[in-house]
A and B are shown apart, each in its own frame.
Chain A
Amino acid sequence: MTNSINEIENSEVLLVAGSNTTEAHPQVARRIYDAVDRGAKLIVIDPRRTKLASRAHIHLDIRPGTDIALLNGMMRAILDDNLADDLFVEMRTENFYALRDMLYRLDLAEVAAVTGVDQRLWQQAARLYARARKSVICYCLGVTQHICGTNNVQAYANLAMLTGKVEKEHCGVDPLRGQNNVQGACDMGALPGVFPGYQPVSDPKARAKFEQAWGVRLPAKPGRTLLDMTHGGGNGPVRGMFIVGENPLLSDPTMDKVRETMENLDILVVADIFLSETAQLADVVLPAASFAEKTGTFTNSERRVQMVRAAIPPLAESRTDAEIVIALANRLGYSMHYQSTAEIMEEIALLTPIYGGIYHDRLEESWGLQWPCFDRAHPGTPFLHKYMFTRGKGHFVPADHQRPAESVDEDYPLLLMTGRIYHHYHTGTMTRKSAALNRECNEAVLEINPADARALAVRNGERVRLASRRGAIELKAGITERVAPGMLYTTFHFAEAPINRLTVADRDPGSQCPEYKVCAAKVEKLT
């Protein structure tokens, strides 16, 4: 997020896109509802009628995968009404004329046809967003999990820059991070192309710094992304894997392909707290300690680095992932020794400019520090891009609507989206161990519109067969108007109904995000 979570409650207009915030980010949703109570206007862009959408002043219920078309329409409305922030565009951005020319060529009737949204509605939303002094955009995986995910994000950034709604408190573009430490894992360089702090592995200067610190030569070529590893892309298949606390078998698209990759490995080593579906295929399983048994830091969605503290020692024979990695490194002939996790943090601070002032002792006596935090005297940064973008000038990238990888047809007439619900989390390895959460919800439900259910003669609560071109599962139907006619929605939490047997593996060429939000499917009544 470029902002802090608490800034949201003081914004005047909130544009929330592709996020079921109420269920997936309860604290962010709380700020949104508080802001609305205080008179802020809420615009929701979502094909589903989520709880947030039902409270919105304007709900733009676009067809899945048509964000770019809608945003282009909104930006055109802003130009037509002369609501662009000309001074900001002039001083702080570049490539505006390319965007402007594209917008003036736009066929507005086509935008309405592609998105399925009334022109007046998006124009109204655009005016609302542009006219307020403090407008914030929050988006989540409904925007990114498309083959055009990078362009989708860019379209939202274009909108914010065109109206100058960045660089100020209560104004910005905020991706809501899904997992507790997904921000931190990215910051720490658990990515194929960058060292900690987003320093490119291909940059000789960055490499030289890490080579000197670690005393070894480091590879310059960016590595493979997750889907290249699990789906065997790139330079031939991977032959050996070390997987820590992940369950790709359930979480990755087209799961039969992932299983095939895992089964063909020469060696699979898994460290986890449970015997996950992936661990069951491993050659070696190492029992890891849970978060309650270790000390370290997590970085939340607003870039706040904060302490995690051990409440109890590791259970039974389990060890922390840090101990496991250190033991493996030493066995592989690389000497690795740390007295404590605080000492690891010192090494991070030395090598990572944005974490340069973050040390455990500083975090112990505060509610954490928001990066960038360059030195021990730096107070941290509640919102980003003040006075200047990281890259200098904000760059407009005009984008055209792109059709999703798969479209519906006669055989697979319904459009399936996947996501989360309130009571469970990701592949359920943790939440499904909780009796209380299982009591609330213990099985996958396929949301289907009453009109479609009627046409298929499916009753509420009945078990149905859901199929795509890649596979089929059985699950319970739940009839609801949260989904529009022709659309379906379900979760990926349940191993008994592994939805990723169905999903498409097509992905955005830039971010490598799979298109989880558009899959052609059909529903059949079980006899």
Chain B
Amino acid sequence: MDAVLSTCVYCGCGCGCYLHVQEGRVVGSSPSRNHPVSRNNICLKGWHLHEMVHSPDRLTSPLVRKGGRLVKAGWEEALDRAASGLKKCMTKHGSEALGVLSSAKCTNEENFLIQKLTRAVLGTNNIDHCARL
């Protein structure tokens, strides 16, 4: 079994956790012994960190609304629809009518790109995330 050192996603403590991988599936998690925060200890949520990864409820393909319902679609179609929808809205109502919510669950790199997209591409500073909640 492989163990990959990563960081827990459930709170601001930031424990060092190993993700245990067997046959392409994440099957367990355990604390890092020497990590300065976790020091060989994680909480109940940390021990069950892996469980949501392979949840049957995970989204497996893009969805696009057609006739009022969300139906499966390919990536090209979904991205085209998303981009054209945002572009149309921008042309019609201006950049100020667009809003982006980034995520405290995403990595720093992703947050950086999301704010870059908002400011440099969509042309607005309407970006926020759940820090206030």
Query: Which A residues have a C-beta under 8 Å from some C-beta of B?
Result: 4-6, 24-28, 30, 144, 176-193, 195-196, 201, 210, 214, 216, 218-219, 221-227, 229, 235-246, 248, 251-252, 266-267, 269, 272-275, 279-280, 282-288, 290-294, 296-302, 304-312, 315-322, 324-329, 331-334, 336, 341, 344-345, 347-348, 367, 422-423, 425-426, 430-431, 433-437, 440, 507, 511-514, 516
Residues of B in contact (CB 8 Å), total 100
What are the 10 closest A-B residue pairs judged by CB atoms, nearest first? A300-B14, A296-B107, A223-B125, A245-B103, A177-B12, A267-B85, A301-B12, A240-B89, A287-B59, A179-B104
Partner pick for B61 among A180, A287, A321, A333, CB 8 A cutoff: A287
Q: Is the CB of A434 within 8 A of B16?
A: no
Which of the listed residues B2, B82, B83, B108 has the most CB atoms from chain A within 10 Å of its own CB?
B108
Partner pick for A309 among B4, B44, B47, B131, CB 8 A cutoff: B4
CA of A225 to CA of B128, assembled, Å: 6
Q: Is the CB of B107 within 8 A of A308?
A: yes
Of residues 85 to 133 in B, which have CB atoms within 8 Å of A's CB atoms? 85-90, 92-93, 95-133
Instruction: Write out the residue numbers on chain A whose beta carbons fall within 8 Å of the beta carbon of B96.
Output: 235
Q: A178-B104, A328-B121 are in contact. List 16 more A-B contacts (CB 8 A).
A: A180-B104, A183-B12, A216-B121, A218-B120, A246-B129, A297-B107, A301-B14, A306-B16, A307-B6, A308-B107, A316-B61, A325-B117, A348-B112, A431-B45, A434-B52, A513-B133
Instruction: Tell me how far the C-beta of A372 lies from the nearest C-beta in chain B, rounded to whole angstroms.
Output: 15
Instruction: Write out the residue numbers on chain B whose beta carbons fall within 8 Å of the beta carbon of A367.
Output: 16, 34-36
CA of A180 to CA of B13, assembled, Å: 7
Q: Is the CB of A328 within 8 A of B117?
A: yes
Partner pick for B113 among A223, A293, A344, CB 8 A cutoff: A344
Partner pick for A226 among B11, B107, B129, CB 8 A cutoff: B129
Instruction: Write out the residue numbers on chain B whose beta carbons fall within 8 Å of the beta carbon of A219.
Output: 95, 119, 123-125
Instruction: Write out the residue numbers on chain B whose beta carbons fall within 8 Å of the beta carbon of A348.
Output: 108-109, 112
Partner pick for A284 among B24, B35, B62, CB 8 A cutoff: B62
CA of A225 to CA of B129, assembled, Å: 8
Partner pick for A244 among B6, B24, B101, CB 8 A cutoff: B101
A432 nearest in chain B by CB position: B52
CA of A437 to CA of B51, assembled, Å: 10
Q: Is the CB of B11 within 8 A of A185?
A: no
B18 nearest in chain A by CB position: A311
CA of A181 to CA of B111, assembled, Å: 10
Pull 15 A–B residue pairs with CB atoms less than 8 Å apart, ordered by A. A178-B12, A182-B104, A190-B114, A223-B125, A224-B126, A226-B101, A238-B99, A239-B98, A284-B62, A292-B26, A312-B24, A312-B25, A321-B114, A322-B107, A331-B82
CA of A319 to CA of B70, assembled, Å: 19
- Total number of residue pairs linking A and B with CB closer than 8 Å: 436
Q: Is the CB of B97 within 8 A of A240?
A: yes
**A182-B104, A246-B129 are known contacts. Are A27 and B37 too (CB-CB below 8 A)?**
yes
**A27-B37, A180-B7 are known contacts. Are A341 and B114 too (CB-CB below 8 A)?**
no
Q: Is the CB of B124 within 8 A of A181?
A: no
CA of A235 to CA of B50, assembled, Å: 43
Q: Is the CB of A239 within 8 A of B108?
A: no
Instruction: Tell me how far the C-beta of A225 lies from the nearest C-beta in chain B, rounded to whole angstroms.
Output: 5
Q: What mask results when residues 23 to 63 of chain B are scored 1 for a CB within 8 Å of chain A, else 0? A: 01110000000111110010111011011111101111111
Instruction: Write out the residue numbers on chain A whose beta carbons fall within 8 Å of the beta carbon of B121.
Output: 216, 328-329, 332-334
**A24-B11, A187-B108 are known contacts. Are A223 and B127 too (CB-CB below 8 A)?**
yes
Q: Is the CB of A216 within 8 A of B5?
A: no
**A180-B14, A225-B132, A269-B86 are known contacts. Are A317 and B124 too (CB-CB below 8 A)?**
no
Q: Is the CB of A315 within 8 A of B109?
A: no
Instruction: Tell me how far the C-beta of A168 lies from the nearest C-beta in chain B, rounded to whole angstroms.
Output: 20
CA of A293 to CA of B86, assembled, Å: 28
Instruction: Write out the residue numbers on chain B whose beta carbons fall within 8 Å of the beta carbon of A426.
Output: 130
CA of A435 to CA of B53, assembled, Å: 13
**A179-B12, A285-B70 are known contacts. Are A512 and B132 too (CB-CB below 8 A)?**
yes
**A239-B89, A291-B105, A301-B14 are known contacts. Are A430 and B127 too (CB-CB below 8 A)?**
no
Instruction: Write out the residue numbers on chain A whose beta carbons fall within 8 Å of the beta carbon of B79.
Output: 286, 324, 327-328, 331
Q: Is the CB of B86 within 8 A of A242?
A: yes
Instruction: Tell me how far the C-beta of B1 lies from the nearest C-beta in chain A, rounded to whole angstroms.
Output: 11
Instruction: Tell me how far the C-beta of B131 lies from the nearest C-beta in chain A, rounded to whole angstroms.
Output: 5
Q: Is the CB of A286 within 8 A of B82?
A: yes
CA of A285 to CA of B95, assembled, Å: 22
Q: Is the CB of B12 within 8 A of A25?
A: yes
CA of A236 to CA of B133, assembled, Å: 23
Instruction: Write out the residue numbers on chain A whose beta carbons fall within 8 Å of the beta carbon of B75.
Output: 317, 319, 327
CA of A425 to CA of B8, assembled, Å: 13
